[in-house]
Amino acid sequence: MEIAKLYLQNFRNYKNEKIQFSSGINVLQGQNGQGKTNILEAIYYLLTGKSYRVRKEQELIFWGENAFHIFGDFLAYERRLSLESHYLDKRKIVKINHVPCKKLSDFVGTINVVFFSPDDLIMVKGGPAERRRFLDLHITQLNSRHVHLLNDYNKVLHQKAALLKSSIQTSKVSNIEIWNEQLLDLGSKIIRNRWRFTQIIAKKSKEIYYQLSSGEEELSINYLALGHQDVEEALHEFPILLEEKMKQEIERQMILVGPHRDDLNFQLNGKSARIYASQGQQRSIVLSLKLAELEVIYQEKGEYPLLLLDDVLSELDIFRREYLLEFIQPIRQALITMTSAEKPSTEIASLFQVDKGHIGRIN
């Protein structure tokens, strides 16, 4: 999968910009604050419907404007695809080959993408929400129905939370039971999806990390559903916990049970990576995860995803940098941002200079 052309209108610091990329490795070079990362963010947003940097689309609009547009021409499975994303008046419109999509789930996964930046260390050292977000974003690329599950589950969560905070006590228990039935149904499916994906990504990540550590360390990744590593045990306990925690939920006016509280557990040689791993080890964990994602998508889809690397080479030591560059040689296309003129030790298809919201091709 690759992107051939990108057109940005009123996105971040780009007023009107057209970029034509090449197959292979494309390097975007420039000083900090010039807009290199914004280009990768635009592509990621176009393909996933989400920014990995901000929660509100309003923050993505060029200063003084009220809308942004992103257009991209892509190649996948020997087909050309035109994707569009428009944001205006708090409404998002997405199109495939100029035909509007009724739902975002019809759009997500059309072109697969893996994004890697130094900020991804938060997956290891941050809170559970970051790790759940990682799981869900990449499951949706492989299984668009997961988007529906998440949306429906979050709607039920919102309704149950509103009921718990309401002052109306009459029939509150029976109404909570109704919402719990829906949480159980939707939540169980989410748990199974996350567990299956974790099993796949964990095996590949373990192999890659073993090589990165020269066979000295072992990475293990487990999905903790309702506090359990065993998915069947978790699903068995789910309805029991919903019943047992009901009184406490009413008293505290908050939802205490469900996959919205689940986590991923990273361990190195049996110890918590979040607590005991060094920064270098945490970086190797994230690198292993991202490279494993490439392989998982390739195995599932038969074609490598588009790879976006945001200033990661400067964050890696020589061994890991060379490992990364060698690993990605088979993929169809990668876009790499760099702050200096130093080129990676591999063949570059195209080199671009980014300066104050404008991009020009050097070779």
Same domain, yes or no: 182 and 40: no
Same domain, yes or no: 339 and 270: no
Residues in a beta bridge with 17: 8
Distance of alpha carbon 221 from alpha carbon 270, whole angstroms: 10
Same domain, yes or no: 339 and 248: no
31 is in an annotated binding site: yes
Same domain, yes or no: 227 and 323: no
- 6 close to 333: Cβ distance less than 8 angstroms: no
pLDDT at 184: 98
187 is in an annotated binding site: no
Same domain, yes or no: 272 and 348: no
DSSP-assigned states of every residue in 279-309:
HHHHHHHHHHHHHHHHHHHHHHHSSPPEEEE
Length of the chain: 363
pLDDT bracket for residue 342 (50, 70, 90): low
Q: Which among 304, 320, 343 is the end of a domain?
A: 304
Distance of alpha carbon 242 from alpha carbon 181, whole angstroms: 9
Same domain, yes or no: 240 and 310: no
pLDDT at 181: 97
Element (H, E) at 100: strand 99-100
Same domain, yes or no: 43 and 190: no
Structure tokens at 105: 């789930």
Q: Which among 304, 330, 346 is the end of a domain?
A: 304
Q: Which among 276, 304, 332 is the end of a domain?
A: 304
| Domain containing residue 136: CATH number | 1.20.1050.90
pLDDT at 170: 59
- 2 close to 326: Cβ distance less than 8 angstroms: no
User: 279 lies in which domain range?
Assistant: 117-304
| Average pLDDT of the segment spanning 312-324 | 89
346 is in an annotated binding site: no
Distance of alpha carbon 44 from alpha carbon 242, whole angstroms: 37
Provide the number of structural domains found in the chain: 2
| Domain containing residue 349: CATH number | 3.40.50.300
pLDDT tens sequence across 268-293:
999 999 999 999 999 999 999 999 99
Same domain, yes or no: 186 and 275: yes
58 is in an annotated binding site: no
Structure tokens at 242: 């919903």
Same domain, yes or no: 355 and 326: yes
35 is in an annotated binding site: yes
pLDDT bracket for residue 343 (50, 70, 90): low
36 is in an annotated binding site: yes
pLDDT tens sequence across 237-260:
999 999 999 999 999 999 999 999
Cα Rg for the chain, rounded, in angstroms? 22
Same domain, yes or no: 75 and 147: no
Same domain, yes or no: 281 and 134: yes
37 is in an annotated binding site: yes
pLDDT bracket for residue 102 (50, 70, 90): confident
Structure tokens at 17: 């910009």
Residues in a beta bridge with 358: 355
34 is in an annotated binding site: yes
Same domain, yes or no: 187 and 326: no
pLDDT bracket for residue 144 (50, 70, 90): confident
